[in-house]
């Protein structure tokens, strides 16, 4: 129900029904209009708030901030879903898969016992055939085995993994800058030492168990990361270097 209200309001905002900087109807009025309780309306508005579409402050009606299209969790996580959502044709090729004992960092990130083995996957990702990103993902053994069985030219890995019961629900990202190494340069067609935008990501399942630890390196100009935050919700933070 609240999803329906949220979707409806989102559409109305996108259509400019309230204008940019305009004011939304009061919660009570929306409740009457949609035939739901005020609590449900508030739940819907919380979604829009988190997406940075509206402000909210005691004493005044909510104000429309913009119509920013926000990506779903899946689009953020999966290069494939993201590419399709922006109308690009994604591609991918597995360059290398190695199985070997986890080092200390990997054991900590994937919460593994000493002696545990991991799969390291090196993969190049393309948009319309042009290489834009190099992906280095480390999987725990039981998930890596599933990845190894996939077609090396499979466009998506996350989709078949989800179908096989590997759930991705929470991710923590770190964004900074890295310099291209020999592999990056060869796969992306740049020079060794060229700057790349780096995203490191640790993804967990609903039980809190890590399912992947990945490092993606993008050619400059192909992507930017955007974040919305407010006095109410903050999920981005700035950290001292690594």
Partner DNA sequence: AAGTGGTCTAGACCACGTG
Partner DNA sequence: ACGTGGTCTAGACCACTTT
Please select the residue that binds its own copies; options are 26, 68, 130, 192, rule is CB under 8 A. 68
Please select the residue that binds its own copies; options are 29, 32, 73, 152, rule is CB under 8 A. 73
Least CB distance to DNA at residue 238 (A):
25
**Torsion angles phi and psi, residue 163, rounded to 5:** -65, -25
Read off the tokens for 140: 């725990």
Query: Which residue, 157, 159, 156, is CA-closest to 144?
Result: 157
CA–CA separation, 158 vs 153, rounded Å? 13
Please select the residue that binds its own copies; options are 11, 67, 128, 230, rule is CB under 8 A. 230
Residue 26 binds to DNA (criterion: CB under 7 A): yes
Contact 14, 56 (CB under 8 A): no
Q: Would you give the binding string for DNA spanning residues 197-236, x where CB under 7 A is met?
A: ----------x-----------------------------
Least CB distance to its own copies at residue 94 (A):
22
Q: Which is nearer to DNA, 167 or 179 (CB)?
A: 167
Q: Which is nearer to its own copies, 11 or 209 (CB)?
A: 209
CA–CA separation, 4 vs 153, rounded Å? 38
163 burial level (CB within 10 Å; 0-12, 13-18, 19+): exposed
44, containing H or E segment = helix 38-50
Rg value, the chain, Cα: 21
- The CA-based angle 158-211-236, given to 5 degrees, is 90
Residue 57 binds to DNA (criterion: CB under 7 A): yes
Instruction: For the segment 116-145, give every residue that binds its own copies (CB under 8 A).
Output: none
Residue 12 binds to its own copies (criterion: CB under 8 A): no
Residue 156 binds to its own copies (criterion: CB under 8 A): no
Q: Which is nearer to DNA, 86 or 233 (CB)?
A: 233
CA–CA separation, 185 vs 192, rounded Å? 5
Interface positions with its own copies (CB under 8 A) = 20-21, 50-52, 55, 57, 60, 63-66, 68, 70-73, 75-76, 82, 86, 88, 111, 169-177, 179, 195-197, 204, 206-209, 220-231, 233-242
């Amino acid at each position: 129900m609240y999803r329906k209200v949220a979707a409806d309001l989102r559409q109305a905002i996108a259509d400019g029904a309230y204008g940019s900087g305009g004011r939304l109807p009061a919660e009570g009025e929306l409740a009457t209009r949609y035939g739901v309780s005020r609590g449900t309306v508030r739940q819907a508005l919380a979604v829009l708030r988190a997406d940075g579409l509206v402000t909210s402050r005691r004493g005044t009606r909510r104000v429309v901030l913009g119509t920013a299209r926000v990506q779903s969790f899946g689009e953020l996580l999966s290069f494939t879903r993201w590419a399709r959502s922006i109308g690009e044709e994604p591609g991918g090729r597995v360059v290398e898969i190695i199985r070997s004992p986890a080092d200390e960092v990997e054991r900590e990130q994937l919460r593994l016992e000493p002696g545990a083995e991991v799969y390291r996957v090196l993969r190049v990702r393309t948009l319309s055939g042009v290489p834009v990103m190099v992906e280095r993902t480390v999987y725990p053994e039981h998930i890596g085995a599933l990845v190894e069985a996939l077609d090396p030219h499979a466009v998506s890995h996350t989709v078949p993994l989800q179908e096989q019961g590997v759930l991705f629900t929470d991710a923590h990202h770190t964004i900074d800058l890295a310099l291209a190494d020999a592999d990056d340069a060869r796969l992306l067609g740049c020079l060794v030492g060229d700057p790349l935008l780096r995203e490191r990501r640790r993804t967990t399942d609903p039980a809190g168990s890590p399912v992947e630890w990945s490092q993606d390196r993008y050619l400059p100009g192909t992507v930017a990361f955007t974040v919305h935050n407010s006095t109410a919700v903050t999920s981005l933070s700035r950290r001292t270097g690594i």
